[in-house]
């Protein structure tokens, strides 16, 4: 049975597995692999991947080598590709080929048949491209070792950024061509998602998903940030943000040890992998498998950082990042998510748990016997983030940063949070977060007003030039904003003092923030409350946080752009307590955490089964966590999946307390059996 995709995961024989592997060029040849064909070196590398427990390799059909001057496929190249696939098949490693590769590792290799023409729209170029993908897909349509076809490798860096329409038509044309001759393999685009995240252009996945053409989303990410916790939580946030109803596979991630310490990179890999699993990702492919020895070759001669991206060194020894991959592969094996066949005695029948897992596999959110929870809290993604409107100038990078900051605060508050894409349905959502949201579609404000009236809790923080046509109706106050002039705070530090208790935040507590020097970034919203309750004031006694109860729910407005303030402070989450405001708003929504702890740097995620939960506790911080995980449920036993230890439990005022220690940048995965079934 070929590999397929379900709602959230890749499926082998109908059972979900986590795609774990690397991107690949061989250490002594790099991007010249096809010209300097060395099957013995490739075989040794693939064998080492399998030894580490990896199940997938992404590789690249360098287009100038695979086509002649007229754009016809070269038979010699196809034979080498077939040999590569056979090597992987012998070792039980899946292959994900990227088909159009003109850009690689910071340089471009052009093809003579392009002749400077548009790669996306020129009819003759498209004819060559269609023939190219059709013939490759036709020849390998029945190859079980191929996991999926990937159209490109970051094609925008070679061919330029297409408009949303041009990118859609190009991808649709090629995917439909592949599917006509090969209905057996999933397909994705390989563009990495950079353009749509930063500029709102490129290959937009939503219309392809609506037509049933795209099988998974494959972001690439090499982030920088001024806050370490936000940086560490970013991969998990991407898994949530990119979720549009199909699996999310992090196709590229990593960092060069020519730039960073090997041990630090190992820690980053570890938190990345566990957080991806915790947030429902379908897999992760590191960039890349090996360091390179070819410093005098293009592109490595001038892209020296590319020499040291490997999870293995040039002498084949394992880096700490490789150790993290091997450890995670062991976890996947113990959870039955490795994609490798599980040993079963001859003649034995599958257990009821196995049958249940198979039954659940293709249904919405099951990871084997464990169900990925549907979050009741969400961060609003405005329609403007993913679709262009006339005369709208959108700062996509800033919007993305605010999504990530709100996600970080929610994770610190131990809120299971996802993303709500305007103008979709709000079914199942009880808490909606709008961090410094400038505007949304006009009809959506009425939708949000009904959401509050029907029992939801809405949180909105201010940003300069924010537009809300139903502000007083929704938030119970009038804005006193001057025309065209940002209302900058009078001091370099803003302190919000709570005058009323809000959830866990007591009256008298204060939260302080350094104010950005740019008045437009610092601007706050002067308010005149009408029906809203003032729960916090600023330095000068002005209303800072309002709660307006409408119908069965409540709307919370913060007059200061707190999430924006936090973007500019180095390692702010080592000292900031804004996550406690998020905890307070969460309690206002009447929601309960299944699991909680006192350490905001520990990410908690639970998956539910018939007899209990699978709990991931990930310490993103640099201090050991020694404490307790609290749950309201009566627990019978807790076992560490990796070392088999029984964890101490005892009754607590909240229900059950689980004693736990987690070293810095490490994780615990616990199987929790309940004393009785929770309904």
CA distances from 19 to 182, 273, 358, 390, 463 (A): 21, 11, 18, 40, 40
Per-residue pLDDT of 116-147, as tens digits, reads 999 999 999 999 999 999 999 999 999 999 99
List all residues 6 or more positions away from 598 whose beta carbon is below 8 Å from its beta carbon.
627, 628
> Average per-residue pLDDT in the chain?
94
> Which region among 170-179, 314-323, 357-366, 561-570 has the lowest average model confidence (pLDDT)?
357-366
| Residue 307 DSSP symbol | G
| Residue 16 DSSP symbol | E
Q: What is the dihedral of CA 360, 364, 369, 375, to 10 degrees?
A: -160
Report how far residue 504's alpha carbon sits from residue 495's, in angstroms, rounded to the nearest whole number.
18
Report how far residue 617's alpha carbon sits from residue 624's, in angstroms, rounded to the nearest whole number.
12
Q: Identify each DSSP E strand in 173-295 by its residue range.
A: 187-188, 220-221, 249-253, 283-286
Superfamily of domain 602-674: Golgi alpha-mannosidase II (2.60.40.1180)
Residue 348: other Cβ atoms inside 10 A: 7
Strand duo 94-101 + 103-104: pairing: unpaired
Instruction: State the Rg of the chain over Cα.
Output: 26
Report how far residue 286's alpha carbon sits from residue 23's, in angstroms, rounded to the nearest whole number.
6
CB burial of residue 52 (10 Å; 0-12, 13-18, 19+): buried
Angle (CA) 357-361-367 rounded to 5° is 75
Global pTM reads 0.95
> Burial code of 113-152, b = ≥16 C-beta within 10 A, e = fewer?
bbeeeebbeeeebbebbeebbbebbeebeebebbbbbbbb
Compute the half-sphere exposure of residue 72: CA atoms within 13 Å on the CB side of its CA: 4
Superfamily of domain 4-367: Glycosidases (3.20.20.80)
Per-residue pLDDT of 352-380, as tens digits, reads 444 454 445 444 578 888 999 999 999 99
Compute the half-sphere exposure of residue 371: CA atoms within 13 Å on the CB side of its CA: 13
Contact assessment for residue 73 and residue 135, using Cβ atoms and an 8 Å cutoff: yes
Average the pLDDT over 473-501 and give the result: 97
Contact assessment for residue 191 and residue 119, using Cβ atoms and an 8 Å cutoff: no
- Looking at residue 201, what is its pLDDT? 73
- Looking at residue 350, what is its pLDDT? 43
Report how far residue 482's alpha carbon sits from residue 502's, in angstroms, rounded to the nearest whole number.
30
Contact assessment for residue 189 and residue 218, using Cβ atoms and an 8 Å cutoff: yes
Average the pLDDT over 281-285 and give the result: 99
Average the pLDDT over 492-504 and give the result: 98
Angle (CA) 357-358-364 rounded to 5° is 80
Which is higher by pLDDT, 393 or 333?
A: 333
Per-residue pLDDT of 191-249, as tens digits, reads 998 767 767 678 999 999 999 999 999 999 999 999 999 999 999 999 999 999 999 99
Contact assessment for residue 41 and residue 27, using Cβ atoms and an 8 Å cutoff: yes
Residue 645: other Cβ atoms inside 10 A: 12
Written as six digits, the tokens of 205 are 């996945």
Average the pLDDT over 513-535 and give the result: 98
Average the pLDDT over 49-60 and give the result: 98
CA-nearest of 81, 179, 80, 173 to 129 is 173
pLDDT at 341 over 50: no
- Looking at residue 550, what is its pLDDT? 87
Compute the half-sphere exposure of residue 175: CA atoms within 13 Å on the CB side of its CA: 25
pLDDT at 345 over 70: no
- Looking at residue 198, what is its pLDDT? 67
CATH of region 377-588, choose from 3.40.50.150, 3.40.50.880, 3.30.420.40, 3.90.1260.10? 3.40.50.880
- Looking at residue 369, what is its pLDDT? 86
> Which region among 1-15, 87-101, 448-462 has the lowest average model confidence (pLDDT)?
1-15
Average the pLDDT over 479-501 and give the result: 97
CB burial of residue 469 (10 Å; 0-12, 13-18, 19+): exposed
Confidence at 320, pLDDT banded by 50, 70, 90: very high
- Looking at residue 195, what is its pLDDT? 66
Domain limits, the chain: 4-367, 377-588, 602-674
- Looking at residue 250, what is its pLDDT? 99
- Looking at residue 424, what is its pLDDT? 87
Contact assessment for residue 492 and residue 550, using Cβ atoms and an 8 Å cutoff: no
Contact assessment for residue 554 and residue 570, using Cβ atoms and an 8 Å cutoff: no
pLDDT at 467 over 60: yes
> Which region among 341-350, 481-490, 522-531, 582-591 has the lowest average model confidence (pLDDT)?
341-350
Average the pLDDT over 511-527 and give the result: 97
pLDDT at 461 over 90: yes
Compute the half-sphere exposure of residue 416: CA atoms within 13 Å on the CB side of its CA: 24
Report how far residue 289's alpha carbon sits from residue 23's, in angstroms, rounded to the nearest whole number.
6
pLDDT at 346 over 50: no
In sign, the C-alpha dihedral spanning 495, 433, 450, 588 is negative
Strand duo 370-371 + 366-367: pairing: antiparallel
pLDDT at 431 over 90: yes
- Looking at residue 531, what is its pLDDT? 98
> Burial code of 246-278, b = ≥16 C-beta within 10 A, e = fewer?
bbbbbbbbbbbbeeeeeeebbbbbbbbbbbbbb
- Looking at residue 348, what is its pLDDT? 40
CA distances from 618 to 193, 223, 612, 624, 625 (A): 26, 20, 19, 11, 10
- Looking at residue 344, what is its pLDDT? 35
């Amino acid at each position: 049975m070929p590999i397929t995709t379900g709602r959230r995961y890749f499926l082998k024989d109908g059972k979900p597995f986590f795609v774990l592997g690397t991107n690949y060029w061989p250490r002594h040849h790099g991007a010249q692999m096809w010209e300097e064909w060395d099957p013995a070196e490739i075989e040794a590398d693939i064998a080492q991947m399998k030894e580490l427990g990896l199940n997938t390799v992404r590789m690249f059909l360098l287009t100038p080598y695979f086509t002649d001057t007229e754009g016809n496929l070269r038979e010699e190249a196809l034979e080498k590709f077939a040999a590569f696939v056979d090597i992987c098949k012998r070792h039980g490693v899946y292959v994900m080929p990227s088909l159009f590769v003109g850009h690689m590792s910071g340089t471009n290799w052009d093809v003579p048949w392009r002749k400077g023409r548009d790669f996306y729209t020129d009819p003759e170029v498209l004819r060559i491209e269609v023939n190219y993908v059709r013939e490759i897909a036709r020849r390998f349509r029945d190859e079980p070792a191929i996991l999926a076809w990937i159209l490109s490798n970051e094609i925008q860096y070679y061919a330029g950024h297409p408009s949303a329409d041009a990118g859609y038509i190009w991808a649709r044309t090629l995917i439909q061509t592949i599917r006509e001759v090969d209905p057996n393999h999933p397909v994705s685009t390989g563009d990495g998602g950079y353009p749509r995240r930063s500029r709102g252009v490129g290959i937009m996945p939503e219309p392809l998903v609506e037509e049933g053409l795209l099988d998974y989303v494959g972001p690439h990410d090499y982030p920088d940030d001024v806050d370490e916790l936000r940086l560490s939580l970013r991969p998990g946030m991407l898994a949530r943000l990119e979720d549009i109803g199909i699996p999310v596979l992090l196709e590229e991630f990593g960092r060069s040890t020519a730039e960073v310490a090997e041990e630090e990179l190992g820690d980053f890999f570890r938190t990345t992998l566990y957080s991806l699993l915790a947030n429902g990702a379908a897999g992760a492919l590191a960039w890349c498998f090996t360091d390179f020895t070819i410093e005098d070759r293009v592109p490595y001669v001038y892209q020296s950082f590319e020499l040291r991206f490997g999870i293995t060194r040039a002498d084949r020894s394992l880096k700490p990042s490789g150790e993290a991959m091997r450890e995670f592969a062991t976890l996947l094996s113990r959870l039955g998510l490795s994609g490798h066949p599980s040993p079963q005695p001859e003649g034995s029948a599958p257990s009821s748990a196995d049958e249940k897992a198979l039954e659940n596999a293709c249904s919405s959110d099951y990871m084997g016997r464990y169900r990925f929870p549907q979050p009741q809290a969400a961060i609003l993604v405005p329609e403007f983030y993913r679709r262009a409107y006339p005369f709208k100038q959108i700062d996509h990078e800033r919007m993305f940063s605010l999504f990530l900051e709100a996600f970080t605060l929610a994770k610190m508050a131990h809120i299971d949070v996802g993303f709500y894409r305007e103008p979709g349905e709000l079914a199942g959502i009880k808490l909606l977060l709008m961090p410094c949201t400038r505007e949304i579609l006009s009809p959506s404000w009425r939708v949000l007003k009904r959401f509050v009236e029907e029992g939801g809790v809405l949180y909105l923080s201010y940003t300069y030039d924010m537009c809300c046509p139903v502000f007083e109706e929704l938030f119970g106050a009038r804005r006193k904003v001057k025309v065209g002039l940002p209302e900058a705070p009078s001091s370099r530090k803003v302190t919000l003092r709570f005058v009323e208790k809000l959830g866990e935040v007591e009256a008298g507590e204060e939260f302080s923030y350094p104010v950005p020097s740019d008045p437009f970034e610092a601007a706050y919203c002067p308010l005149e409350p009408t029906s809203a309750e003032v729960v916090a004031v600023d330095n000068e006694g002005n209303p800072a946080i309002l709660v307006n109860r409408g119908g069965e729910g409540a709307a919370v407005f913060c007059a200061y752009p707190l999430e924006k303030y936090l973007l500019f402070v180095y390692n702010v989450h080592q000292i900031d307590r804004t996550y406690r405001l998020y905890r307070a708003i969460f309690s206002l929504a009447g929601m309960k955490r299944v699991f909680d702890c006192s350490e905001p740097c520990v990410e908690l995620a639970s998956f539910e089964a018939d007899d209990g939960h699978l709990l991931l506790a990930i310490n993103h911080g640099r201090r050991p966590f020694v404490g307790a995980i609290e749950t309201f449920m009566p627990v019978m036993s807790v076992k560490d999946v990796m070392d088999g230890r029984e964890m101490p439990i005892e009754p607590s005022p909240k229900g059950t307390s689980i004693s736990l220690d987690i070293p810095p940048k490490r994780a615990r995965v616990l199987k929790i059996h309940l004393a009785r079934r929770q309904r």
